[in-house]
Chains A and B, each alone.
Chain A
Amino acid sequence: MSTNTLVLTGTRTNERLGAVLVAAFLGLGLVFMAGFAPAMALHNAAHDFRHSQNFPCH
């Protein structure tokens, strides 16, 4: 299986690092909100999703 690698230049690397960090931060935040946030209102709203996706619940 061939793996295409992105062409890297100096500025690209910085841009890429920034994109990785921003996306990871946003993604973790959203997953935390949907799956782990302890606020009861959030928990109740996301309840069925948490059970279905096997997040620890209650």
Chain B
Amino acid sequence: MIIRLVSAALVAGFLAAVVGTGLQFALTSPLIIAAERYETQASAAPLLPIPASLIVRVHGGHDHGTQNNGPRDPSVAGGEVAPVWEPGPGLPRMAFTALATLVGGVGYALLLGAVLLACNREPSPESGLRFAIGGFLAVALAPALGLAPELPGMEAAPLADRQFWWVMTALATAMGLYLIAIRRAPVSIAGGIVLLVAPHLAGAPETSHAASNLPAAYAAQFAARSLGIAFVFWAVIGLAYGWAWGLFGRNRPTHA
């Protein structure tokens, strides 16, 4: 059974990665690259009279080593610390984006398979899609309500806080959806609603409202496109997982 689950998840993750990577290249990557141009401009030429604390060089020409390499003199514009590896621009960067999408897609597909099995559902395109929509709500839509998809260069709260809130929101939403959609008893529905709402009442880590050079239209477009891509990504994972599960089961009906 584990072989069948992993095989189906590999197929689903691969198909979703193909679709998701195509959409990312077409819709979000151009915006990310455009945003980085503003960001490197801002860090390369800090001529504006902005307090230094506002120019947090989150990307700083794509050198992310600031937090990990300990405190560093902000007036030293990089170069002192050995550069951290990053994929070269153009094709290598696209290749690694595709690879990351594949890893993420297979990971999500495995989780979807595990949840389907744990909930005692026979995977099919229909049930796969239904659970995939739950996955989209839990890891894409609900966290995005508090932490909007952000472009490079947009200021934000400390990473650890946001990651913690993200994970807690995803878990609470998933649990809440389970209680509402699968348990379906009045008490569990009430508990589920509490779980859905609680992370948002607790509140996401505060986003800084410092002005940014980035045009607002980019950020808005990016947020909408990012959620759209996430939905398609999940839908393909769900449909393909259900389809592939049936495909791998046909050869060995006795082991189904």
Contacts from A to B (Cβ < 8 Å): 3-6, 8, 15-16, 18-24, 26-36, 38, 40-41, 43-58
B64 touches A58 (CB 8 A): yes
Picked from A5, A27, A40, the residue with its CB within 8 Å of the CB of B108 is A27
CB-CB under 8 A for A34 and B144, given A23-B5, A26-B110:
no
A30 touches B28 (CB 8 A): no
Given contact pairs A18-B2, A19-B117, a sample of 9 additional A-B residue pairs in the complex whose CB atoms are under 8 Å apart: A8-B120, A20-B117, A27-B108, A38-B68, A44-B85, A45-B87, A47-B32, A48-B93, A49-B24
B107: which A residues are within 8 A, CB to CB? 26-34
CB-CB under 8 A for A49 and B117, given A19-B5, A24-B110:
no
A41, closest chain B residue (CB): B85
Interface residues of B, dominant DSSP: helix
Q: Give the complex CA separation of A20 and B162 in angstroms.
A: 28
Among A18, A21, A38, A40, the one with the most B-chain Cβ atoms within 10 Å of its Cβ is A40
> 0/1 per residue, B83-116, Cβ < 8 Å to A?
0111100000100110111011011111111100
CB-CB under 8 A for A48 and B163, given A30-B103, A30-B110:
no
A27 touches B227 (CB 8 A): no
Q: Give the complex CA separation of A8 and B256 in angstroms.
A: 11
Can you list 10 pairs linking A and B with CB atoms under 8 Å apart? Answer: A5-B122, A6-B121, A31-B107, A43-B64, A48-B28, A48-B29, A49-B97, A52-B149, A54-B144, A57-B159
Picked from A18, A49, A52, A54, the residue with its CB within 8 Å of the CB of B147 is A54
Closest chain B CB from A1 CB (angstroms): 8
B111 touches A27 (CB 8 A): yes
Q: Does B9 contact A (CB under 8 A)?
A: yes
CB-CB under 8 A for A52 and B84, given A5-B120, A46-B96:
no
A24 touches B93 (CB 8 A): no
Q: Give the complex CA separation of A8 and B230 in angstroms.
A: 34
A52 touches B2 (CB 8 A): no
A3: which B residues are within 8 A, CB to CB? 121, 127
Closest chain B CB from A43 CB (angstroms): 6
B140 touches A54 (CB 8 A): yes
Q: Give the complex CA separation of A50 and B101 in angstroms.
A: 9
A31 touches B104 (CB 8 A): yes
A58 touches B6 (CB 8 A): no
A15: which B residues are within 8 A, CB to CB? 1-2
Q: Give the complex CA separation of A10 and B227 in angstroms.
A: 42
Picked from A18, A43, A54, the residue with its CB within 8 Å of the CB of B143 is A54
